[in-house]
Amino acid sequence: MKTEETERIGKIWFEDMWSTPNLNAADEIIDVDYDPSWIHIDKKGAAQVKHEITYLRSVFPDLTYNIVEIKGEEDKVWIRYKARATHKGESWGFKPTNKRVEFEGATILYFNSKGKVIDRWGAFCFYDILEELGLVPPFWELHSHLPNFKK
């Protein structure tokens, strides 16, 4: 694939599919066998990503991603982003805080020879999101909240 095409699909992934959200875009860009091993959902292909989007947007209904940097290659695209959202849904054992959160992350989408997304690697600090929402203590204070912690 041309790098312009991988970058176009990367933009669809975040700007269209996740931010709008346009769940139908998943059917167009994701391979039927898409099933990253680190995502523990009993679905694969476009259904897996649609499930992720639907769930995360039930917690953060106004979630938007802005691409900060994108670099396409023939078989992958690297995307660095900034996301913003308001915590309005119950999840992970926490009630909604109605607080606004911002976080940054990076994703690599991998493509097969047909131009479909076959795998994804992503990184962002989930703990920092929970801390910004006031749901957990700052990481450097975590030890004082653990009753069996020994220095």
- Above 90 in pLDDT, residue 10? yes
- What pairs with residue 91 in β-bridges? 94
- Above 80 in pLDDT, residue 150? no
Would you kindly state where each structural domain of the chain is located, as residue ranges?
Answer: 3-145
Give this prediction's pTM.
0.89
User: What is the rounded CA–CA span in Å between residue 20 and residue 120?
Assistant: 20
From first CA to last CA, the distance across the chain in angstroms is 53
- Token duo for residue 12: 């669809």
One CATH from 1.20.210.10, 3.40.50.1100, 3.10.450.50, 3.40.30.10 for 3-145? 3.10.450.50
pLDDT, residue 98, reads 98
User: pLDDT tens across 34-82, in order?
Assistant: 888 777 788 889 999 999 999 999 999 999 999 999 999 999 999 999 9
> Which residues contact residue 117 at a Cβ distance below 8 angstroms, ignoring those fewer than 6 apart?
9, 13, 29, 30, 31, 34, 109, 110, 111
Q: What share of the chain is helix, strand, coil (3-state, %, to 5)?
A: 35, 30, 40
- Token duo for residue 117: 């997304």
User: What is the rounded CA–CA span in Å between residue 99 and residue 132?
Assistant: 9
- Above 90 in pLDDT, residue 18? yes
78: three-class secondary structure by DSSP: strand
- Token duo for residue 8: 């176009």
pLDDT, residue 38, reads 75
pLDDT, residue 46, reads 95
User: pLDDT tens across 126-149, in order?
Assistant: 999 999 999 999 888 888 888 877
User: pLDDT tens across 94-121, in order?
Assistant: 999 999 999 999 999 999 999 999 999 9
User: Is the peptide bond preceding residue 21 cis, with omega within 30 degrees of 0?
Assistant: yes
User: What is the rounded CA–CA span in Å between residue 141 and residue 131?
Assistant: 11
Please give the DSSP secondary-structure letter assigned to residue 131: H
